[in-house]
Amino acid sequence: MTIVFAFLIGGLICFIAQLLLDGLKLQNVHITVLFVFLGSLLECFNLYDRLIEISGAGALLPICSFGHSMTESAVNYALNGNYFDIFKGVFASTSSGISFAIFISFICSLIFKPKG
């Protein structure tokens, strides 16, 4: 049953993004920032964890999960230390993903030629 919910929740997130792209003529970067913000906002109200429990990878794979991860780790570091640890917390859980994206982008820039 988790597979069905993962498909439905992940598909719903992608459907909403496509509606925003087509209906409001937003750019991809606007959708990305909006979804990261929404993931952070849902984490503030402890709703994103429930969404992950229900749908699993359907909620973990979209970009909303990045906002969820940043907010969750920042809050955990702030509660366990002082408030300056918020910045350390944001990068503690997301640094591997950011590093991998930079590395793959570098490899792709070596392999492919840009259209000019």
Show the 3-state SS of 25-49: CCCHHHHHHHHHHHHHHHHHCCCHH
pLDDT for the residue 92: 78
Whether residue 116 lies inside any domain: the answer is: no
Q: How many domains are there within the chain?
A: 1
**Global pTM?**
0.77
Would you state the structure tokens that stand for residue 36, as one six-digit string? 């990261």
Would you state the structure tokens that stand for residue 56, as one six-digit string? 């699993």
Range with top average pLDDT, 63-67, 68-72, 107-111: 107-111
Across the range 54-69, mean pLDDT stands at: 86
Whether residue 40 lies inside any domain: the answer is: yes
Please give the residue range of the domain that contains residue 68. Answer: 2-111
Across the range 66-88, mean pLDDT stands at: 81
Whether residue 31 lies inside any domain: the answer is: yes
At residue 32, does pLDDT exceed 80?
yes
